Amino acid sequence: MNSSTIDNPQMSDATSDNAELSHLRAAVHGHPLLATFCDAIPQPLVILNAGRAIVMANRPFLEMVGIDGVEDLVGKRHGEAVGCRVAQRAPGGCGTAEGCQSCGAARAIAAASVGKNQKLACIVDREGECVPFELEASARAFDLDGEPLVLLVLVDVRDRHRRRILERLFFEDVLKSATGLVGLTEVLSASAPAEMEELAQALASQGRRLVEEIRGQRDLTAAESGELIVDWQKVHATRVVNEVRDAYRHHPVSNGRIVGMIPGPDVTLVSDSALVLRVLGHLLKNALEACPPGGTVTLAHEVEDGQVVFRVWNPGEVPAEARRHMFRRVFSTKDDRRGLGAYSIRILVEANLGGRVGFASDPEGGTNFHVCLPLDGPGALS
């Protein structure tokens, strides 16, 4: 067995031939209770053979993966059935890539084969889609006429996770901003007239951050559900970069750090200025948080192949484990309470602005995030 294949002593790495699959499928559908039981379960489930190939799938599973008939799934492994990007690119298919070692579904199958029942989280990045499947996987092993089979249940928990995470982050961020507003108001009330103007400016700045936090959470929720309305307009790239730099040059996260800028072409693109500002603001804020005191974070933009490429560089390196999960919703290099920054950037850019986002990171070159947006966006103006 390939060394990177999920370790499972009772399941071979090779899937079965068509004759064996046909035999097992007939046995499953011919069982007096098994087929009825599977159809009655409201959660998506599949039955797998010893080679982890699908023998049977119920209607909720077919609906989840967007396939009309089970005939299109028989013989595939679970990762291939749900469109997992890692499984489709692995040379040996589902279960053979390095990333499969952390797959919750594969681990649940392996645990079931040795008599253990576990519920494990499984995040599936799909080809051509920005929003991943977030599944809760559980498996049970059983025999049918001497044939070892596994029943795998995959519950889509995206809505549950989205609501919980957004509520937690929203309340934390709003509470932090509101606390700052209260503190500034108390200082303002006890200040001399000469100090009023400076404190009023600080109060207004804190209020703007609070409004931006609320708008950001609102827009991310709308973007995930496909309900975000993009305001296509002419956007001046240099003006946007200057505005982001000015907004964060005196932000608390910039204390002890320098926000630099490399001048770029004065080019105009068709996009949504508010969303572009939010995306670049997220990138700059994350870069400043990762930058050591005394370090410099640099903003830049250029034109390449009919696109405006915005770049945010910081001297730090992203650890290897963090690089593999950077754009997933519940992952953060800072702590487990955060994790929407890079994810929201990807959703806004790739699912709504018609662009793409990526990054490179190494010890010598630091970390360079880039956002590519077409000069003539999907909402190009006449």
Same domain, 138 and 247: no
Q: How confident is the model at residue 189 (pLDDT cuts 50, 70, 90)?
A: low
Q: Does the pLDDT of residue 375 top 90, yes or no?
A: yes
The residue-averaged pLDDT of 346-365 equals 91
Chain centre to alpha carbon of residue 165: 13
**What is the number of other CB atoms lying within 10 angstroms of the CB of residue 99?**
17
Give the CA angle between residues 373, 376, 382 to the nearest 5°: 150
Rounded Cα gap, residues 51 and 205, in angstroms? 60
Q: Is residue 3 part of a domain?
A: no
What tens digit of pLDDT does each residue of 109-155 get? 989 988 888 888 888 888 777 777 788 899 999 988 888 999 999 88
**What is the number of other CB atoms lying within 10 angstroms of the CB of residue 140?**
15
Rounded Cα gap, residues 368 and 302, in angstroms? 14
Choose from 6-10, 48-52, 192-196 the range with maximum mean pLDDT: 48-52
Same domain, 144 and 173: no
Q: Does the pLDDT of residue 284 top 90, yes or no?
A: yes
Choose from 245-249, 346-350, 367-371 the range with maximum mean pLDDT: 367-371
The encoded tokens of residue 323 equal 């690089």
The residue-averaged pLDDT of 75-99 equals 83
Regarding predicted confidence, which is higher, 236 or 160? Answer: 236
Per DSSP, helices labelled H in the chain are: 18-30, 34-40, 59-65, 78-81, 85-89, 104-113, 158-189, 193-224, 237-249, 273-290, 320-324, 341-352
CB 164 within 8 A of CB 90: no
Give pLDDT, residue 338.
41
Same domain, 32 and 129: yes
Beta sheet of 258-262, edge-to-edge order: 258-262, 296-304, 307-314, 366-374, 356-362
Regarding predicted confidence, which is higher, 166 or 273? Answer: 273
The residue-averaged pLDDT of 239-255 equals 88
Same domain, 274 and 130: no
CB 110 within 8 A of CB 8: yes
Same domain, 103 and 164: no
Regarding predicted confidence, which is higher, 249 or 259? Answer: 259
What tens digit of pLDDT does each residue of 300-324 get? 999 999 999 999 999 988 888 777 7
DSSP string over 132-157: PEEEEEEEEEEEETTEEEEEEEEEE-
Same domain, 143 and 181: no
Task: Give the containing element (helix H, strand E) for 300.
Answer: strand 296-304
**What is the number of other CB atoms lying within 10 angstroms of the CB of residue 382?**
2
For the chain, the average pLDDT equals 80
Same domain, 286 and 205: no
Q: Does the pLDDT of residue 276 top 80, yes or no?
A: yes
Q: Is residue 346 part of a domain?
A: yes
Which residue type, as a one-letter code, is found at position 296? T
Strands 233-236 and 268-271: antiparallel
In the chain, how many domains are there?
A: 3
Strands 258-262 and 296-304: parallel
Q: Is residue 128 part of a domain?
A: yes
Domain stop point among 175, 203, 229: 229
What tens digit of pLDDT does each residue of 99-112 get? 787 888 889 998 99
Q: Does the pLDDT of residue 18 top 70, yes or no?
A: yes
Same domain, 235 and 224: no
Chain centre to alpha carbon of residue 42: 26
**What is the number of other CB atoms lying within 10 angstroms of the CB of residue 127?**
10
Q: How far is CA 320 from CA 34, 208, 360, 361, 362, in A?
A: 44, 36, 11, 9, 9
Q: What length does the chain have?
A: 382
Residue 318 belongs to domain spanning? 230-382
Regarding predicted confidence, which is higher, 379 or 366? Answer: 366
Same domain, 31 and 91: yes
Same domain, 202 and 248: no
Give pLDDT, residue 335.
45
Q: How confident is the model at residue 1 (pLDDT cuts 50, 70, 90)?
A: very low
Q: How far is CA 349 from CA 123, 201, 232, 305, 324, in A?
A: 21, 32, 13, 17, 19
Same domain, 180 and 215: yes
Same domain, 382 and 235: yes
Domain stop point among 107, 127, 156: 156
The residue-averaged pLDDT of 61-72 equals 85
Choose from 40-54, 66-80, 264-278, 312-326 the range with maximum mean pLDDT: 264-278
Share of the chain above pLDDT 70, in %: 79
Q: Of 99, 140, 98, which is closest to residue 119 (Cα–Cα)?
A: 140
Domain stop point among 229, 254, 286: 229
What tens digit of pLDDT does each residue of 326-337 get? 877 654 444 443
The encoded tokens of residue 59 equal 């209607």
